[in-house]
Amino acid sequence: MIKRKLFQRYQDRYNMELSDPKIAQLDLAYHDIKRGRGVFDLLQRKGLAARVTTDEEIKAAVDQPPQTTRAKLRGDFITAAQEAGRDFTVDWVHLKLNDQAQRTVLCKDPFRSVDERVERLIASM
């Protein structure tokens, strides 16, 4: 709701469509998480948005992914690859060992936290 209201106010103020590139730029700036630079931080300082997490919760989330989503799979894979000293690539849905076999697991379901393919990939390290 916060972002939607922000976009609507911006559209009304500058008489532009949602498809305008300036709205896309605003969207990117909204998600900038650096303190003092992101739009959300500015809205928060003006009392137009409220945080729902603490700094401590954010720091903990870096090393402790949600245990009921594919973030757990990513976290388990990253931990295992780092401990094994392996070269790897991870994005939202791909877990990849960057070796000669180029082994990759595609994790499409965001709510799946257990996957035998990921377990086998981890075991192969």
Domain ranges of the chain: 2-45, 65-123
Q: What is the pTM of this model?
A: 0.66
Q: Are 101 and 120 in contact (CB under 8 A)?
A: no
Q: Which residue stretches of the chain have pLDDT < 50?
A: none
- Fill in the amino acid letter for 75: G
For the stretch 53-60, contacts whose Cβ atoms lie closer than 8 Å and that sit 24 or more positions apart, written own/partner, are none
Q: What is the pLDDT of residue 47?
A: 93
Question: First vs last Cα of the chain: how many Å apart?
Answer: 44
In sign, the C-alpha dihedral spanning 111, 116, 117, 123 is: positive
Question: 93 with 106: CB under 8 angstroms?
Answer: yes
At residue 33, the pLDDT reads: 83
Of the candidates 120, 93, 119, the one whose C-alpha atom is nearest the C-alpha of residue 107 is 93
Strand partners, 106: 94
Looking at residue 44, its pLDDT comes to 92
pLDDT value for 34: 85
Count of beta carbons in the 10 Å neighbourhood of residue 107: 22
pLDDT at 57: 93
CB-CB neighbours of 41 under 10 Å: 17
